[in-house]
Amino acid sequence: MKGHGSVSAWCIDHPVATILLTFALVLLGVIAFPRLPIAPLPEAEFPTIQV
């Protein structure tokens, strides 16, 4: 049944391509991480109860 393989079967059959794809995804993640618009110390107001 050629053509009906799963992703894991393709990865087993093509180990070099799997390593290169994994490396590319990690590299893109490392490049994208500093560009995320997240403040390191966000302003937060915590609710208080006064009695």
Q: What is the pLDDT of residues 7-46, one digit of tens each?
A: 999 999 999 999 999 999 999 999 999 898 887 777 888 8
Half-sphere exposure of 17 (CA within 13 A, CB side): 8
pLDDT at site 50? 85
CA distances for 10 relative to 32, 39, 41, angstroms: 27, 40, 43
Neighbours of 24 (CB within 10 A): 10
Q: Which pair of structure tokens corresponds to residue 4?
A: 């009906």
pTM of the model: 0.60
Q: For residue 6, is pLDDT > 60?
A: yes
